[in-house]
Amino acid sequence: MKQLEFNFPYRFSNDLERRLFKNWVQSMYDENTRERRNYRETPYANLYSYAKKNWKFLIYEWESEIRDLTLSNAEIS
């Protein structure tokens, strides 16, 4: 089943940053789903519910650690 489009309520500096953030959140959701299944916990129903529940954590991680690394790697490739 295809995920619904989720418009993140965050001000990105450009379209590249928005796309990188979206891909990163998708990878975090996928990782969380695998971990929850490994521990026999119920995974989030979809990307939207995961992002909504973990929004502050995702923004904190993105701003403090991920954004600059991701943008610099994207500019190189």
23-69 pLDDT tens trace: 999 999 999 999 999 999 999 999 999 999 999 999 999 888 777 77
Output the pLDDT for position 1: 47
Range of the domain at 41: 20-76
What CA–CA distance (Å, rounded) separates 66 from 44?
23
Q: What is the pTM assigned to this prediction?
A: 0.76
Structural domain tally of the chain? 1
Output the pLDDT for position 39: 98
The answer to the question of residue 12 being in a domain is no
Phi and psi torsions of 39, nearest 5°: -95, 10
Helix orientation angle between 67-76 and 15-38, rounded to the nearest 10 degrees: 120
The answer to the question of residue 9 being in a domain is no
